[in-house]
Chains A and B, each alone.
Chain A
Amino acid sequence: MKKEVPTITTFVVGVIVILDYFFQLGTGTLSLEYFSREIQNWMLIVAAFAMGLAAINLIRLHVVQIRQRKTGWYNSVALIITLVVMSIIGISMGTDSPLYRYWYNALLVPIDATIFSLLAFYITSAAYRAFRARNFDAAVLLVTAFIVMLGRAPIGEQIWSSAPSVANWIMDYPNMAGQRGIIIGSAIGAVSLGLRILVGMERTYLGQD
Chain B
Amino acid sequence: MSVWDKLLSLDRRWIYLILFVVVSYPLLFPIGLPLTVSRETHRVYDYIESLPPESVVVVSFDYSPSSYAEQHPQAVAIMNHLMRKPGVKIICTAFWEQGPMLCEELLESIDTHGKEYGKDYVNLGFVPGGETAMSAFAGDIPKTFPVDHRKNPIDTLPMMADIKTANDIDFFISIAAGSPGVPEIVRQIEGPYKVPFAAGLVAISVPISMPYVQSGQMVGLLAGLRGAAEYEQLLDMKGTATVGMDAISFSHIVVLVFIIISNVAYFLGRHKGGAK
B48 at the interface (CB under 8 A from A): no
Distance, CA A109 to CA B263, complexed state (A) = 38
Residues of A within 8 A of B101 (CB): 95-96, 101, 104
Nearest-Cβ distance from residue A131 to partner chain B, whole angstroms: 5
Residues of A within 8 A of B25 (CB): none
Residues of B within 8 A of A33 (CB): 139
Residues of B within 8 A of A206 (CB): none
What is the chain B residue whose CB lies nearest that of A120?
B251
Contact A172 B253 (CB under 8 A): no
Partner of B36, one of A44, A127, A142, A157: A157
Partner of B211, one of A117, A125, A180: A180
Contact A44 B129 (CB under 8 A): yes
Q: Which residues from 131 to 150 on chain A have a C-beta closer than 8 Å to any C-beta of chain B?
A: 131-134, 142, 145-146, 149-150
Residues of B within 8 A of A179 (CB): 207-208, 210-211
Partner of B66, one of A113, A142, A154: A113
Distance, CA A106 to CA B38, complexed state (A) = 36
A78 at the interface (CB under 8 A from B): no
Residues of A within 8 A of B67 (CB): 116
B27 at the interface (CB under 8 A from A): no
Nearest-Cβ distance from residue A40 to partner chain B, whole angstroms: 4
Distance, CA A123 to CA B20, complexed state (A) = 13
Partner of B255, one of A37, A41, A127, A158: A127
Contact A171 B19 (CB under 8 A): no
What is the chain B residue whose CB lies nearest that of A159?
B253
Contact B259 A131 (CB under 8 A): yes
A124 at the interface (CB under 8 A from B): yes
Contact A124 B128 (CB under 8 A): no
Q: Which residues from 66 to 91 on chain A have a C-beta closer than 8 Å to any C-beta of chain B?
A: none
Contact B258 A124 (CB under 8 A): yes
Q: Which residues from 143 to 193 on chain A have a C-beta closer than 8 Å to any C-beta of chain B?
A: 145-146, 149-150, 152-158, 164, 168, 171-172, 175-176, 179-180, 183
Knowing A129-B262, A176-B211, A180-B211 touch, does A149 contact B249 (C-beta < 8 A)? no
Contact B65 A128 (CB under 8 A): no
B28 at the interface (CB under 8 A from A): no
What is the chain B residue whose CB lies nearest that of A95?
B101
Distance, CA A96 to CA B104, complexed state (A) = 10
B175 at the interface (CB under 8 A from A): no
Contact B256 A150 (CB under 8 A): yes
Distance, CA A194 to CA B136, complexed state (A) = 23
Distance, CA A164 to CA B223, complexed state (A) = 14
Contact B259 A142 (CB under 8 A): yes
Distance, CA A125 to CA B67, complexed state (A) = 21
Contact A172 B69 (CB under 8 A): no
Knowing A40-B129, A124-B255 touch, does A154 contact B263 (C-beta < 8 A)? no
Residues of A within 8 A of B68 (CB): 109, 112-113
Nearest-Cβ distance from residue A146 to partner chain B, whole angstroms: 6
Residues of A within 8 A of B65 (CB): 108-110, 112-113
Knowing A142-B263, A183-B211 touch, does A124 contact B16 (C-beta < 8 A)? yes
Q: Can you list 30 pairs linking A and B with CB atoms under 8 Å apart? A: A37-B136, A44-B128, A44-B129, A96-B101, A96-B104, A96-B149, A108-B65, A109-B65, A110-B65, A112-B66, A112-B68, A113-B65, A116-B66, A121-B20, A123-B255, A124-B19, A124-B258, A131-B259, A142-B259, A152-B203, A152-B226, A152-B252, A154-B35, A155-B252, A156-B252, A158-B34, A172-B214, A179-B207, A183-B208, A183-B211
New A-B pairs, 5, CB < 8 Å, besides A132-B262, A153-B252, A183-B208: A40-B136, A43-B132, A121-B20, A149-B256, A171-B210
Residues of B with Cβ closer than 8 Å to A? 10, 12, 15-16, 19-20, 23, 33-36, 38, 64-69, 101, 104, 128-129, 132, 135-136, 139, 149, 203, 207-208, 210-211, 214, 226, 245-246, 248-256, 258-259, 261-263, 266-267
